[in-house]
Amino acid sequence: MIRFIHTADWQIGRQYGQVEADESYALAEARFSAVERIASLASEHSVHAVLVAGDVFDAQTVSDKTIHRLFAALRGYQGPWFLLPGNHDAALTESVWARAVRLNAIPENVQVCQKPEPCLVPGTQAVILPAPLAQRHTYNDLTEWFAHRQTEPGVYRLGLAHGCVQGILAEDIDSTNPVAAERAATARLDYLALGDWHGAKQVDERTWYSGTPEPDRWKDNGAGNVLLVELESPGRTPKVTPIPTAHYRWRSESRNIQVSSDVDAVEALLSALDAHDVLQLNLSGQVDLAGRRRVIAAIGRARGLARCIRADTEALAFEPTQEDVDALGADGYLGEAIANLRKEQGAPEGAVPREALLILATLLDKQKAEGAAT
């Protein structure tokens, strides 16, 4: 019986432009934390090894500091780590791995599988067959050799690869670094640990994408886990248990507001956020003055709750009622202007009038509030 953790796509060094500057730093930091958590989990579950199926680093030329930090984050688990070069950190002649070696940053218990050669997992009957990428892209199936490599009977055969399983990832059909769909079977693998796909995904009973341990995009595909893999004996079907590791929940929510209760729902959604949430909120539909005030206020409050909110209200039209207009004190030509803008915001080129209407309403609202205050 062996037990190990399968993870991949750490993408250390990734930066987040899709959120604001102060938020992006925390998100980048979270990737190191995720690795630290994996180390803790590995210790906690007393695994025999941790297999990282490629893209440990997001790029070849990360700073020295980043390299040191990554390897330092592994300290929590003193058992063997097997790191596989992926397409982002391919084992080129000069690579992040070569630099790590030069920097003397790689601890002894960490093995970088830079060559397609079997690696023994110390203290076990397991052999890892790695398929490292030695180029950024390849059109050959680097796992081909797994099938031809014989091992002693009674040895666990564990494949470690980074690429696209052909035929199952529809949008990646033409992509590089292919992996044959039935590789686990043809190569008599007990388990094939894959990386590249950022969501956790089972390909067949012995083949899994672990996904990235810390999500990095608003795509709900099961990212944010590592896989605890247990094999009773060679040849038996592995027991695979996803363990959540994500610190941040990346969520993308879309809401269409038509009536006041829709605003209630948005308020409820926003008030339920906490510091782990990285939310993308897309609002559409229409609100009156009150609805708008509530939505703005709810978003403002939620910013204090969540790690990050990316709210897109561009598609949310402002439809002030006559009462609203009166309440805003928009008499005379202001009233006429508001009437114009209300009419124009519905037109195909309505974005600018809609924004103008919002500005005008905001100004009036503010003046009114100031007037009320004085």
Q: Which residues bind other proteins (CB under 8 A)?
A: 13-21, 24, 58-66, 92-96, 98-99, 102, 136, 329-337, 340-341, 351-353, 355-356, 358-360, 363-364, 367
**What is the rounded radius of gyration, in angstroms, for the C-alpha atoms of the chain?**
27
Which C-beta is closer to other proteins: that of 265 or that of 369?
369
- Of 113, 115, 156, 114, which is closest to residue 4 (Cα–Cα)? 156
- Of 295, 285, 220, which is closest to residue 256 (Cα–Cα)? 285
181 is written with which tokens? Answer: 């769909």
Report helix, strand and coil shares of the chain as percent, to nearest 5. 35, 25, 40
Residue 374, judged by CB atoms within 10 A of its CB (0-12, 13-18, 19+), counts as: exposed
Shortest distance, position 127 Cβ to other proteins, whole Å: 28
Shortest distance, position 112 Cβ to other proteins, whole Å: 16
Shortest distance, position 221 Cβ to other proteins, whole Å: 22
Shortest distance, position 59 Cβ to other proteins, whole Å: 3
Which C-beta is closer to other proteins: that of 115 or that of 236?
115
Which C-beta is closer to other proteins: that of 192 or that of 295?
295
Which C-beta is closer to other proteins: that of 102 or that of 236?
102
CA distance 226 to 283: 33
DSSP count for the chain of H helices, then E strands: 10, 17
Which C-beta is closer to other proteins: that of 59 or that of 155?
59
Backbone dihedral angles phi then psi of residue 78, each to the nearest 5 degrees = -95, 0
Shortest distance, position 90 Cβ to other proteins, whole Å: 10
